[in-house]
Amino acid sequence: MPENYVAMFPTPGEAECRAKVERAGPRVSALAEQIRTGAVLEEVPVTLKDRLQSGPVNPLFYALYVRDKGFTVSEECVSCEKCTRRCPLNNIEYADGRPVWKGNCTHCMAYIAGCPTEAIEYKSNSRGRHRHYIGTDE
């Protein structure tokens, strides 16, 4: 998966994003088929780093960083409401022609990546970072 966490990390350009998604296609299809047929998925080894990231680091990160107060929307917004529809937690309302965040965000970055005019920013962190959206909800 291409890095999409524009709230914190540099992101790859469009060509690299497309290449990564294309490379992952066969593996994703194979896994989908395994799930569809109820096959047992192969176990992936869990490292100490994995345990630390999913254990102590994750709750701390959520408590200190994952919130929606840093999102802003610029005059580039064309009031298409795609961000409202793309939020998996139904956390974005639409009021007076603009998105409004309701305080229940998991930082998935779906709406910021899928905004057709790049009108959404997360503080200054996301500025100038490439956004790649894979969804098919046009």
- What residues line the site for ligand SF4 (CB under 6 A)? 73, 77-83, 99, 115-117, 119-120
Paired tokens of 6: 């524009």
Q: Which is nearer to ligand SF4, 51 or 98 (CB)?
A: 98
Question: In the bound complex, what is the minimum distance in angstroms from residue 51's beta carbon to ligand SF4?
Answer: 37
Q: How far is the CB of 17 from ligand SF4 (least distance, A)?
A: 19
Of 39 and 78, CB closest to ligand SF4: 78
Token output for 126? 């996301």
50/81 with CB nearer ligand SF4? 81
Using the minimum distance from each CB to ligand SF4, give the nearer residue, 83 or 105.
83
**Least CB distance from residue 24 to ligand SF4, whole Å?**
26
Identify the burial level of 16 via C-beta atoms within 10 angstroms of its C-beta, where 0-12 means exposed, 13-18 middle and 19 or more buried: middle
Distance CA(108)–CA(128), nearest Å, equals: 18
Whole-number Cα distances in Å, 24 to 8, 19, 30, 94: 24, 9, 10, 35
Residue 96 near residue 74 (C-beta atoms within 8 A): no
Q: How far is the CB of 99 from ligand SF4 (least distance, A)?
A: 5
